[in-house]
A and B are shown apart, each in its own frame.
Chain A
Amino acid sequence: KNEVEQSPQNLTAQEGEFITINCSYSVGISALHWLQQHPGGGIVSLFMLSSGKKKHGRLIATINIQEKHSSLHITASHPRDSAVYICAVSMEYGNKLVFGAGTILRVKS
């Protein structure tokens, strides 16, 4: 079993829909990251959080430390949101990041 599990693996949505991507982990962490990878391969960090909730524009990330679960929400989705969204956790001990397999999101107009 992978230490970080994401769901769904693939997601197709219509423009304007509310989108949720889930991430569950089984290890002790110091932080959780949500990353966005565009078709060209470049990766940007969307959020880093260790508790509660963060919001940036139409993106919202939440984490429940007790349940070892995080969600990434996209409100009013747009075709430009199409990308791979990756959940990663910073291990509680050491300097490792462990990645989920990613969620391929396609938003159709």
Chain B
Amino acid sequence: SQTIHQWPATLVQPVGSPLSLECTVEGTSNPNLYWYRQAAGRGLQLLFYSVGIGQISSEVPQNLSASRPQDRQFILSSKKLLLSDSGFYLCAWSEDRGHTIYFGEGSWLTVV
């Protein structure tokens, strides 16, 4: 069966520090991968999606970047965090558009 994991689960980082959130999927190949952010009291916002290794689409201009070094690995990064980067980050995967989407456990990021 397929599983998705992301880590760390919680993170408190000072402003200006780097960020790396990692997500891995098991039990499937060539998944579509997504990073979402949910700011406090707001809905989910798509940050990045990837349909294959090295293929990253960015949905909103921001302080973050994403990479897909392996087929089932998706990394969300920042060189210098801002206070506004605080939020709940979710990794997700689907086989293709129009298929069921599965979410990771989420990562709570607090930038102080």
Contacts and interface: CB of A to CB of B under 8 A. Distances in A.
**Are A and B physically bound partners?**
yes
A29 B72 CA distance: 26
Main secondary structure of the interface of A (DSSP, over half): strand
A101 to B, nearest CB: 4
Given A86-B44, A100-B43, A101-B43, A41 B34 contact: no
B-side interface size class: 20 to 34
A43 B59 contact: no
Interface string A73-100: 0000000000000101011001111111
Main secondary structure of the interface of B (DSSP, over half): strand
B51 interface: yes
Interface stretch (B13-21, B62-70, B77-85, B99-107): B99-107
Given A41-B90, A42-B106, A43-B90, 20 more contacts: A31-B98, A33-B100, A35-B103, A40-B106, A41-B105, A41-B106, A41-B108, A44-B103, A45-B102, A45-B103, A86-B43, A86-B44, A88-B44, A90-B98, A94-B97, A95-B32, A97-B46, A99-B43, A99-B44, A101-B43
